[in-house]
């Protein structure tokens, strides 16, 4: 491990020392020099293409993992231009602007250039903390006077020690007896005429001891990554920029990547001085293509999927006919109620309908997250009514409508009846912009019978940023109780797919969550069963955020998008020598370069013990697990194709996302007027906020 860390430090020195390369998280490098590869996202942001780099252990050799990476950056240059672009895109919302500019580094330009002993210019770099606010420096002997939040240069006043110090380089209040009061604009005017007095003054000090400067005196430094949440339009542009054919990414990795990362000997002699060299050619590893499973439909109809498609003009089995109810158009025009109140009022009226209402189909006019979140909260938490949301424009559009409606039909079928112990676990954490008291939310889903069609869920909130499930014993015990209620017995084997665990947390998972699973089993099973070793437990971590990609070496081994064929599995060459892991690409990629899922076996008591019931067609434990995982990817409830990761992990991820809808007030806080809630605002969060209505508790409400 120390050798790997040392090599990572050595290989990372060149890009991190390069003044025209920006580094994120220590191993993602983006060149913004003479010819940066970027794209304007709008709103003052742009995307750059760069490279991920990491030294890894392969089978009998050391490997350097390089992959194309994309990130969002602030557009460099005039800060006034950046603010103006932001205002044209989002409107003049001061709270949103402060959130956007916070921690942006700028070079101040209002003072004469400072030089070092070598005669080189030394830029004055400052960090934007906030916009000028009325409570800045409130504990100072002579606090500044700010007329309102986000005040302009003419509305911000601060004190100087004496009139003779008007030429001082300080931009904030000084200690001592104050005798002269001056506006920010007046202080700067001896060097610059303020042409945009409506643009807010920036605080480049802190709340306790503010330092003010107008935006016209600042230039945004290049290469600053933005962690702000993108708008829907920006996200769409980002996807188009990042979505590339496999051969284009392969070319970038082998040609441009080594130049940016300094892996070419001519550009980085430091590596040679340490006796280190990197072979810039990609390695070739052996892979296999697993056969698609036979999918059974209504009646005796079966089909072997091609290219990952599992449903083409086949009958879909549904529990019972669904009778259509009334159609209601939600129109807020002229109403004094808020959208939230109107949605709840309409849905309560539907719930009170004389007929039994079990499901509401909602056509949404657009992708407004607030409307969707409220519909799901009212249906899942308050009323216990299943809701299926669809975009009006997609349902009405002829092109691709059959596929879209088929996916919706699958949702209707899986919500209605329990058909189908495999377990999925995931945790979602507060994102940038969430309130400080935003919790983490854990989800545990589990099958209820041998058909693997139904995976009801248990949700639980826990301390923010807590990555392991703290209440796992009780959550998993509830899943065992449901299985016993449906089957009058308990499962002999428990297969767990754990999502959202990084490589550095494998041992933490072993030390915390696996004992919690065993504790739940001790409570549910008899002492005789436990002495016999029942149940047997296997835990597999599902990795999505990795940078390993595979490129077909022959045309016959690629699909129409030039990606490897669906069902491709790689379990040697780039996998661990000492542990059990494999890469599986179960799906067919619609566009861009396909990303396989990485499966790492943390605990195995099922497959490697030779206890599988005979006969089975698998020569060894690895093939058994790989085939089972691949086949389950065809059982995802709301897609007509095989999906990229095993459904239990996918379901747990969806359940976590649904919980974020319920807690949108802390995860994505917005005031009624549309502006962001300030960081100091607190919204109470408790367990009842994610407590599913008893009518839906044992269903896949999150689907």
Give the CATH number of domain 320-416.
3.40.50.2300
**pLDDT range class, residue 359, cuts 50, 70, 90:** confident
Is 48 or 388 the better-scoring residue by pLDDT? 48
Q: 95-104, 190-199, 391-400, 645-654 — which is least confidently predicted?
A: 391-400
The rounded distance, in Å, linking the Cα atoms of 79 and 201 is: 11
Q: Which residues contact 313 (CB under 8 A, 6 or more apart)?
A: none
What tokens were used for 245? Answer: 């054919």
The rounded distance, in Å, linking the Cα atoms of 450 and 635 is: 13
The rounded distance, in Å, linking the Cα atoms of 15 and 267 is: 11
pLDDT of 356 reads 76
Instruction: Report domain extents, the chain.
Output: 2-76+228-273, 78-220, 320-416, 418-690
**pLDDT range class, residue 169, cuts 50, 70, 90:** very low
Query: Taking the CB of residue 132, how many other CB atoms lie within 10 A of it?
Result: 26
Residue 256 is classified by DSSP as I
77-78 β-sheet, strand order: 77-78, 218-220, 105-108, 125-127
pLDDT of 610 reads 57
Average pLDDT over residues 621-648: 91
pLDDT of 682 reads 64
For the chain, the farthest-separated pair of C-alpha atoms sits apart, in whole angstroms, at 95
| Beta-sheet pairing, 295-296 with 302-303 | antiparallel
The rounded distance, in Å, linking the Cα atoms of 495 and 599 is: 13
pLDDT of 174 reads 41
Is 623 or 175 the better-scoring residue by pLDDT? 623
Hey, which residues does 458 pair with through a beta bridge?
444
pLDDT in tens, 434-476: 888 999 999 999 999 888 889 999 999 999 989 999 999 999 9
The mean pLDDT value of the chain amounts to 86
| H/E segment holding residue 539 | strand 536-543
| CATH number 3.30.420.10 given to 418-690 | yes
Percent of all residues in the chain with a pLDDT value above 90, rounded to a whole number: 63
| Beta-sheet pairing, 493-499 with 422-428 | parallel
The rounded distance, in Å, linking the Cα atoms of 164 and 668 is: 49
Average pLDDT over residues 286-311: 75
pLDDT in tens, 392-405: 777 666 655 555 55
Are 187 and 202 spatial neighbours (Cβ–Cβ below 8 Å)? no
Average pLDDT over residues 549-566: 94
Instruction: Give the chain's length.
Output: 703
- Give residue for tokens 């938490």: 381
What tokens were used for 641? Answer: 């194709």
The rounded distance, in Å, linking the Cα atoms of 387 and 375 is: 8
pLDDT of 411 reads 46
- Is the predicted pLDDT of residue 160 greater than 60, yes or no? yes
CB hemisphere CA count around 220 (13 angstroms): 23
pLDDT in tens, 484-517: 999 999 999 999 999 989 999 999 999 999 999 9
* C-alpha torsion sign, points 93, 96, 99, 105: negative
Give the CATH number of domain 2-76+228-273.
3.30.530
The rounded distance, in Å, linking the Cα atoms of 46 and 74 is: 6
651: helix, strand or coil: helix
The rounded distance, in Å, linking the Cα atoms of 438 and 679 is: 11
pLDDT of 672 reads 42
Q: For domain 78-220, give the fold.
A: paz domain (2.170.260)
What's the 3-state SS for 168-214? CCCCCCCCCCCCEEEEHHHHHCCCCCCCCCCCCCEECCCCCCCCEEC
The rounded distance, in Å, linking the Cα atoms of 557 and 551 is: 9
pLDDT in tens, 311-334: 555 555 555 555 666 666 656 566
pLDDT of 668 reads 85
What tokens were used for 237? Answer: 């542009």
- Is the predicted pLDDT of residue 391 greater than 90, yes or no? no
């Amino acid at each position: 491990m120390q050798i790997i860390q040392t090599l990572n430090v050595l290989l990372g020195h060149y890009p991190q020392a390069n003044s025209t390369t920006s580094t994120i998280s220590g191993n993602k490098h983006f060149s913004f020099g003479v010819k940066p590869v970027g794209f304007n996202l709008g709103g003052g942001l742009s995307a750059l293409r760069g490279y991920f780099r990491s030294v890894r252990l392969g089978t009998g050799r050391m490997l350097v993992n390089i992959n194309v990476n994309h990130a969002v950056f602030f557009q460099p240059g005039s800060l006034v231009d950046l603010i103006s672009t932001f205002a044209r895109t989002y409107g003049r919302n001061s709270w949103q602007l402060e959130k956007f500019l916070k921690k942006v580094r700028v070079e101040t330009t209002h003072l004469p250039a400072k030089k070092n002993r070598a005669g080189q210019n030394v830029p004055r770099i400052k960090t934007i903390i906030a916009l000028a606010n009325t409570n800045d420096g409130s504990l100072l002997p002579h606090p500044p006077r700010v007329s309102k939040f986000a005040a302009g240069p003419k509305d911000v006043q601060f004190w100087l020690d004496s009139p003779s110090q008007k030429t001082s380089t300080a931009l904030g209040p000084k200690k001592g007896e104050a005798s002269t009061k001056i506006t920010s604009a007046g202080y700067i005017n001896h060097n610059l005429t303020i042409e945009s007095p409506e643009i807010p003054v920036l605080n480049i000090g802190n709340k306790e001891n503010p330092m003010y400067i107008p935006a016209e005196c600042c230039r945004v430094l290049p290469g600053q990554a933005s962690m702000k949440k993108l708008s829907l339009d920006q996200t769409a542009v980002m996807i188009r920029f990042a979505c590339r054919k496999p051969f284009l990414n392969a070319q970038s990795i082998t040609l441009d990547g080594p130049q940016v990362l300094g892996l070419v000997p001519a550009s980085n002699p430091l590596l040679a001085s340490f006796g280190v060299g990197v072979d810039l050619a990609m390695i070739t590893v052996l892979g296999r293509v697993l056969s698609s499973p036979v999918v059974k439909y209504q009646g005796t109809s079966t089909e072997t999927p091609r290219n990952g498609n599992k449903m083409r003009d086949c009958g879909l089995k549904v529990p019972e006919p669904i009778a259509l109810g009334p159609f209601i158009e939600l129109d807020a025009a002229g109403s004094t109620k808020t959208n939230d109140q109107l949605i709840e009022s309409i849905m309560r009226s539907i719930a009170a309908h004389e007929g039994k209402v079990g499901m509401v189909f909602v056509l949404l006019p657009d992708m407004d997250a607030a409307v969707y979140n409220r519909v799901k909260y009212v249906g899942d938490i308050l009323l216990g009514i299943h809701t299926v949301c669809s975009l009006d424009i997609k349902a009405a559009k002829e092109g691709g409508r059959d596929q879209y409606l088929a996916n919706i039909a699958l949702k209707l079928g899986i919500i209605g009846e329990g058909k189908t112990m495999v377990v999925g676990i995931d945790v979602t954490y507060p994102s940038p912009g969430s309130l400080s008291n935003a919790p983490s939310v854990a989800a545990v889903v589990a099958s209820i019978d041998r058909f693997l069609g139904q995976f009801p869920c248990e949700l639980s909130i826990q301390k923010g940023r807590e990555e392991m499930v703290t209440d796992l014993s009780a959550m998993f015990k509830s899943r065992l109780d449901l299985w016993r209620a449906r089957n009058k017995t308990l499962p002999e084997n428990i297969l767990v797919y754990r999502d959202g665990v990084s490589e550095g947390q494998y041992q933490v998972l072993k030390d915390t969550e696996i004992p919690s699973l065993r504790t739940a089993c001790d409570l549910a099973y008899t002492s005789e069963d436990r002495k016999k070793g029942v149940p047997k437990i296997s835990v597999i971590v599902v990795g999505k955020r990795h940078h390993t990609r595979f490129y077909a070496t022959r045309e016959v081994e690629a699909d129409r998008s030039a990606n490897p064929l669906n069902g491709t599995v790689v379990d040697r060459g780039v996998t661990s020598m000492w542990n059990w892991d494999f890469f599986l690409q179960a799906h067919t990629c619609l566009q861009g370069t396909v990303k396989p899922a990485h499966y790492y076996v943390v605990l195995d008591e099922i497959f490697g013990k030779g206890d599988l019931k005979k006969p089975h067609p698998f020569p060894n434990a690895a093939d058994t697990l790989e085939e089972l995982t691949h086949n389950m990817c065809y059982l995802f409830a709301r897609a007509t194709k095989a999906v990229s990761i095993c459904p239990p992990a996918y379901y747990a991820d969806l359940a976590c996302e649904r919980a974020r809808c319920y807690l949108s007030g802390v995860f994505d806080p917005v005031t009624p007027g549309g502006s962001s809630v300030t960081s100091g605002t607190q919204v109470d969060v408790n367990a009842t906020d994610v407590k599913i209505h008893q009518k839906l508790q044992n269903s896949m409400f999150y689907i």
